[in-house]
A and B are shown apart, each in its own frame.
Chain A
Amino acid sequence: MAILVEQVLNGINYGLLLFLIAAGLSLVFGVMHLINLAHGSLFMVGAFAAAAFAHITKNFLLSVICATLLAAAVGWLVERVIVRKLYARSHLDQVLATFGLILFANELLRWISGGVPQYVPSPGLFSGTVMLPGGIEYPAYRMMVTSIAAIAALAMWMVIAKTRAGMLVRASASNPTMVRHIGFDVGLISTLVFAVGAGLAGLAGALTGPLVSIEVGMGEQVLILSFVIVVIGGLGSIRGTFLAAMMVGLVDTLGRALMPLALSGIFSARAVSSFAPALSATLVYILMAVVLIMRPQGLFAR
């Protein structure tokens, strides 16, 4: 039981982090109709930057904030220099150019980091565990990550749904000409959306850092999962992206944890250890296949 609760919490934690990444992808697609493969690289930049800042400042929160801002700044720059030339292009061109960005970013970070995985310890204050109701111990750091990610997700939703800026973003998505006609700079809105998406991905990267080893290529793992999420949720729907992210987070985490247990009842231990990892890695994609069969436009498409 305790394992189950812990895994569900891990699943929610993972789902929220994935949402922070997928939300940027979904927003950028919704507003600018751009498919951005390099979005995962911003996640990676966030993780590496947080590690470097933590080394310098010795302050975890400060390093997360700096990393988030740095990722947003990189996003801003990349949008101004390269990405904005791609809005009017075909998806093929967008895929190719942003693939080029990945190659560059990966190689740059491999060069800077010397190709060695980086490890960041959980910040001292959160290195222990917290006691949950029902006597379940849970790592304090994960708890904090879940809270920060939830707050960031909520804040983003509030901005989009309730504020004037959010209204403009939604309007730009559905009718850019109209927004231009009432006197707003659509170019600036695009840059802002891209930078905010980059910042969220960077934040997710910075928060993920202490949970994993920080290495080149970590961005693409989450990028591909984010694609799955965006497709399952329905392209351009933030609500759909959120629900799909939670689904994927839970399915992936629970699958990895519970699949070997479930299979061990049926097969020999040796067989389980050989194909349980394969099977649990496919669960998310099986989910995607099922959604495609039932609702190819995505579960929550408008």
Chain B
Amino acid sequence: MRHLEKPVVLDLQRPTNVAARIVGGVRSYAANALLVALLALAPFLFESHIVGSLTRGMIYGMAACAVGFIIRCGGMVSFGHAAYFGLGAYSVLIAQKIGLTEALLIWPIAVLVSAAASLAIGSLSLRTRGVSFIMITLGFAQMVYFVISSVQGLGGADGLGLQARNQIGGVSLESPTRFHFVVLALLLVVFCVLSRVGRSPLGMALAGIRQNERRLKALGYNTTRLQLTAFVLSAAITGLAGALAAEFYLYVSPGLLHWIVSGELLVMATLGGVTALMGGLFGALVLLLAEVLISEFTTYWRMALGPVVIVAVLYLRQGLQPALQKMLGGGRD
């Protein structure tokens, strides 16, 4: 993953502008490499419940990176990605109900289901921009939530358990360690795809749309169609993450579709830093770590999370991942 572009200077003078914050990609891979190494070695280093938390962090991180991607490329703030996350999970449930057990078949189905839903929802939502877009993505996600949670065959409001984790090419994924590595591998594939798309002419045009959509139209780009492409790609990845979440919990419930998941994905994406490819992963891991730590002391851990989010938005403007990079001395050249 070499960067061919010129050095990008993050503008710290005007950090109130998200556009200015969401500059470019990752300058130094130190933080990223360290994190990936940690995740790869985790099963050998930590107890199983910590490894489990990290697996979960990677799953949510995958979805959060997809959410961050369409902010960086396309300027779309989606408050409805829980729908694609949940649809991915429910696809696994339905596939198992009709007797499928092969992940290599089921996961692509989950991806397709989420992509198809996002194509419909996205083409309607992209008739608006800005605030309306945020509200509408939330509205449609809520519709998906209501519909699915009222289908008794899928467990209604309570959800249903899976019989067992699906297999990959006949190989069982019951072992948490093996599942951990599968998730990590898929996460790296997602990063490669997002990185590649980000540097493509499409990604460049999408970054341009975030900065000045009118200008991109004037250059002859069908901006709505490009945004829809990015939206569907993002939803497809979120669907994959949702399928993995179903396999992880071995339980699927409307909780995965709840609007609060959309909000948490956005928080993870921005807490980690939307500028960075892997920001969402950082955000997810930090958030889940915080959850684990705080829940030791109180069940009301979100009471602490709320103020943390507010303070982070008001004062920690670059996100965690770039901050970490600076600390590691890599960062901006």
Contacts and interface: CB of A to CB of B under 8 A. Distances in A.
Contact of B135 (A99, A106, A110, A231): A231
30 contacts: A35-B131, A90-B16, A90-B19, A91-B134, A93-B18, A93-B313, A95-B134, A99-B266, A99-B267, A100-B267, A100-B309, A101-B310, A104-B303, A105-B306, A107-B306, A111-B303, A224-B259, A227-B135, A227-B138, A228-B135, A231-B132, A231-B136, A274-B152, A277-B150, A278-B147, A281-B146, A282-B143, A282-B146, A285-B139, A296-B128
B79 A95 contact: yes
B161 interface: no
A99 B263 contact: yes
A231 B139 contact: yes
A100 B313 contact: yes
Nearest to A91: B131
A79 to B, nearest CB: 14
A85 B138 CA distance: 24
B138 A224 contact: yes
Given A35-B134, A235-B131, A274-B152, A101 B306 contact: yes
B215 interface: no
A82 B310 CA distance: 8
Interface residues of B, number: 45
Interface string A14-36: 00000000000000010000010
B308 A100 contact: yes
B146 A96 contact: no
Interface string A102-124: 11111110110000000000000
A98 to B, nearest CB: 9
Nearest to B77: A92
Contacts of B147: 278, 281-282
A104 B259 contact: no
A228 B135 CA distance: 7
Contact of B300 (A37, A99, A107, A278): A107
Contacts of B139: 224, 227-228, 231, 285, 288
Main secondary structure on chain B at its contact with chain A?
helix
Contacts of A278: 146-147, 150-151
A210 B146 CA distance: 24
A100 B312 CA distance: 10
Nearest to A289: B124
A108 B303 contact: yes
Nearest to A290: B124
B200 interface: no
A296 B138 contact: no
A229 B239 CA distance: 29
B6 interface: no
Contacts of A277: 150
Interface residues of A, number: 47
B305 interface: yes
Given A103-B309, A231-B139, 5 more contacts: A92-B18, A96-B312, A103-B306, A104-B307, A293-B127
A126 interface: no
A96 B151 contact: no
A97 B259 CA distance: 16
A275 B305 contact: no
A285 B305 contact: no
A107 B291 CA distance: 14
A110 B77 CA distance: 29
A110 B300 contact: yes
Contact of A92 (B71, B138, B146): B71
B159 to A, nearest CB: 16
B131 A97 contact: no
Interface string B113-139: 000000000001101101110111011
A241 B135 CA distance: 14
Contacts of A93: 18, 313
B140 interface: yes
Interface in A70-99: 82, 85, 88-93, 95-97, 99
A230 interface: yes
Find the residue from B18, B128, B130, B310 having the highest chain A CB count within 10 A.
B310
Give the most central of B19, B125, B138: most A CB within 10 Å: B138
A96 B313 contact: yes
A96 B267 contact: yes
Interface string B291-303: 0000000001011
B142 interface: yes
Contacts of B259: 220, 224
Nearest to B71: A92
Interface string B201-231: 0000000000000000000000000000000
Given A227-B139, A230-B135, A231-B128, A106 B309 contact: no
